[in-house]
């Protein structure tokens, strides 16, 4: 599993860069409407989900966690499609969509990190990524009536933190790939 993750290190990098770009866009335009946020979020989650499904399918026989990865990807694609099909979704419904996705993603990332703990040092980055996702989900559930501006800032900060953590993880996996080749 570790060799397979190091082989697709670039997927973590792409996910991290996409999250950072999403976070920067949300910070640059904090007054954007919820509709624009829905479209940006939907695009990010859809792209992330597609990459996870591709990663799952491309390494189907080599992975023990293929169903978790596939489920995470399909959930992302589903949430992304829902946001495009129903752009007039209310702020509360958007919060539920985002919170559900963040909670599922966070739990799955922590499960994968626990499975990796015997094979690799530095799995803490994946654990921290999972914790960040779960913290955002809990905050969104606790404060569902927060204003759209607060939601934009919260999601932007989350996306930046998650993106940085995924980029760091990708470079650690790239280093591991180089060590495994040697």
Q: Are 51 and 18 in contact (CB under 8 A)?
A: no
* Predicted model pTM: 0.55
pLDDT in tens, the chain (182 residues): 677 778 888 888 999 999 999 899 888 876 665 567 777 778 888 999 998 898 888 877 777 777 888 898 999 899 888 888 877 655 567 777 778 888 998 998 898 888 877 777 777 888 898 999 999 888 878 877 665 567 778 888 989 999 999 999 999 989 888 888 87
Per CATH, the architecture of 2-181 is what? Alpha Horseshoe (1.25)
As a whole number of angstroms, the distance between CA 65 and CA 69 comes to 6
Residue spans per domain, the chain: 2-181
* Tokens describing residue 103: 């909670």
């Amino acid at each position: 599993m570790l060799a397979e993750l190091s082989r697709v290190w670039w997927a973590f990098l792409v996910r991290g860069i996409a999250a950072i770009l999403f976070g920067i866009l949300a910070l640059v335009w904090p007054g954007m409407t919820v509709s624009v946020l829905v479209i940006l979020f939907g695009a990010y989650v859809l792209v992330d989900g597609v990459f996870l499904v591709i990663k799952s399918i491309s390494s189907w026989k080599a992975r023990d966690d293929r169903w978790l990865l596939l489920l995470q990807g399909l959930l992302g694609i589903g949430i992304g499609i829902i946001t495009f099909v129903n752009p007039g979704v209310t702020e509360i419904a958007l919060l539920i969509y985002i919170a559900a996705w963040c909670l599922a993603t966070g739990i799955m990332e922590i499960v994968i990190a626990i499975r990796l703990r015997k094979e690799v040092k530095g799995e803490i980055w994946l654990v921290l990524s999972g914790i960040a996702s779960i913290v955002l989900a809990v905050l969104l559930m606790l404060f569902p009536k927060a204003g759209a501006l607060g939601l934009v800032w919260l999601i932007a900060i989350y996306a930046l933190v998650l993106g940085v953590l995924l980029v760091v993880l990708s470079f650690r996996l790239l280093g591991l790939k180089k060590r495994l080749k040697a």
